[in-house]
Structure 1
Amino acid sequence: MNHPETELSGVVKELVLAKTIQAQHKTIETYFAPDAGFNHPLCSIPRGRGSIEKIKGVYEWYKDMSPKIDIDIDSVVYDHENNVGYIEIVQVFHIFISLFAQAPAKLLVRVKLEKKFSDSKYYIIQQDDHYQPEDIASLVLPFLAPLVIGIKNFAGRLCGFNAVAFGALRNAIHMCMTAIGAWIKGEDSKNHYDNGITMNGRVD
């Protein structure tokens, strides 16, 4: 890439919407470094020599599982200082053997790029796909997505309840510690005063 900030969205579409495996492989070879890494909630490829071939396999299997994928790119942000791109995507992925209705899933793709001095172009050296749990469910078993959302909502309410309950306990402990601290401080002051009287020889 010469200008990642304007080219990243096109690269993503080329990868995901490639008509053939050969076209997809060519896109990967064009934009990924030979030792690029890949990280996804369901699989991971560490950076290393020839790791690009494994990334090809991931994308190939991805296409085999869902021959037809639809995507919308909501936003692209590029951090020039750190050479990091963030692409917000909504995709519809449907496993070809699944009997369930397809459902859209949101994800945030983070790509780290590195400039190759031989041709002054930027290449992807690391791709990280970030999903919410319900969006992972939408990819695999869409009917589970509402259940996952329900569990998360319940956990949120539980956190609020715990904050109130333990907040009261925390306040009580704080008050006790403050009282104990004040008592200790008072005792120290009294002892200091008594010691002062003793040193001045005014003990009864």
Structure 2
Amino acid sequence: MENPVRDITNVIRQLTQGPPEIQSWAIDRYFTSDATFVHPFCRVWGKHGGRDGIKTIFQWYKMMSPEISLDVNSIAYDKDHLRLYVNISQVFSIWIVPFYRAPVTLTTVLDLTRDPGDGRPLPDANAQRYYIAKQEDLYQTSEFIKFVMPWGGSSLVMLWQTLATLFCLIGAYAYCAIARVLTIVFFPFSLSRDSGEPYGNRVKAGN
């Protein structure tokens, strides 16, 4: 890529929506030979031959979901650290599960480098080119559960999140109540008579 922000949308479409030969060509062209890939369900270590492992994963992904509808919502580029943040919405359908379509949103983090790592000639200083050294796909729990529980998974996650939130609220209120009772019982003179607040927390007027 010569301009990561401009080019990345087309690269993503080649990787996910292109035919197998275009997909393979894009991985060879844009990934380093020792690229790393991180996903909630799989990982390719950043070693020699990592690009071949990534190619296999994308091929399997394509076989599982031949037709993928995808939109790039936003792109952010950290130029100092050569890192791209791409927010993507896609509709994932698995051919072995008829009539199922999973709309999911994720953020893909791409670490870039100017060294392809495979002996390809580097462009001159006036034509810098960037390669993907690491791809990490970040999904919320309510999103990636759709891949393994087609029906009801997101609802279970939201129920769990709601219960966990209630537990946090109850725990916080209970802790504050117990702490106040213990303070009154064991340290009755540490509270201000007029405000009921610890003297250390009182702020003088005008400060």
Fold match (TM-score > 0.5) = yes
| Uncovered stretches (5+) of structure 1, i.e. residues with no partner | 183-204
**1:73–1:88 Cα contact (<8 Å) kept:** yes
Matching residue within 154, 157, 167 for 2:176: 167
| Uncovered stretches (5+) of structure 2, i.e. residues with no partner | 116-120, 192-207
Paired position in structure 2 for 1:110 = 109
Paired position in structure 2 for 1:147 = 156
| SS of alignment partner, residue 2 of structure 2 | coil
| SS of alignment partner, residue 142 of structure 1 | coil
Paired position in structure 2 for 1:9 = 9
**2:85–2:107 Cα contact (<8 Å) kept:** yes
| SS of alignment partner, residue 87 of structure 2 | strand
TM-score with structure 1 setting the length: 0.81
Closer, same or farther in 2 for the Cα pair 1:99/1:167, shift >3 Å?
farther
The CA deviation at 1:175 is 6.1
Paired position in structure 1 for 2:97 = 98
Closer, same or farther in 2 for the Cα pair 1:87/1:169, shift >3 Å?
same
| SS of alignment partner, residue 54 of structure 2 | helix
CA distance in 2, matches of 1:177, 1:22: 75
1:25-64 matches, cutoff 5 A? 25-64=24-63
Paired position in structure 1 for 2:200 = none
1:67-99 C-alpha deviation (Å, 9 max, x unpaired): 111111110101001100000011111111014
Closer, same or farther in 2 for the Cα pair 1:10/1:171, shift >3 Å?
farther
The CA deviation at 1:149 is 1.5
Instruction: Among all aligned residue pairs of Structure 1 and Structure 2, give the percentage whose two residues are the same amino acid.
Output: 31
CA distance in 2, matches of 1:51, 1:168: 55
TM-score with structure 2 setting the length: 0.80
Larger Rg over CA atoms: 1
1:119-138 matches, cutoff 5 A? 119=123, 120-138=128-146
Count of matched residue positions in the alignment of Structure 1 and Structure 2: 181
1:121-176 C-alpha deviation (Å, 9 max, x unpaired): 11000000011111112233221221212211221222112111122224445667
The CA deviation at 1:56 is 0.1
CA distance in 2, matches of 1:26, 1:178: 73
Closer, same or farther in 2 for the Cα pair 1:164/1:54, shift >3 Å?
same
**Structure with greater helix share of residues:** 1
The CA deviation at 1:177 is 7.5
Paired position in structure 2 for 1:66 = 65
| SS of alignment partner, residue 101 of structure 1 | coil
Paired position in structure 1 for 2:204 = none
CA distance in 1, matches of 2:114, 2:185: 60
2:150 alignment partner AA = P
Closer, same or farther in 2 for the Cα pair 1:36/1:167, shift >3 Å?
same
1:147 alignment partner AA = L
**1:100–1:141 Cα contact (<8 Å) kept:** no
**1:100–1:142 Cα contact (<8 Å) kept:** no
**1:32–1:123 Cα contact (<8 Å) kept:** yes
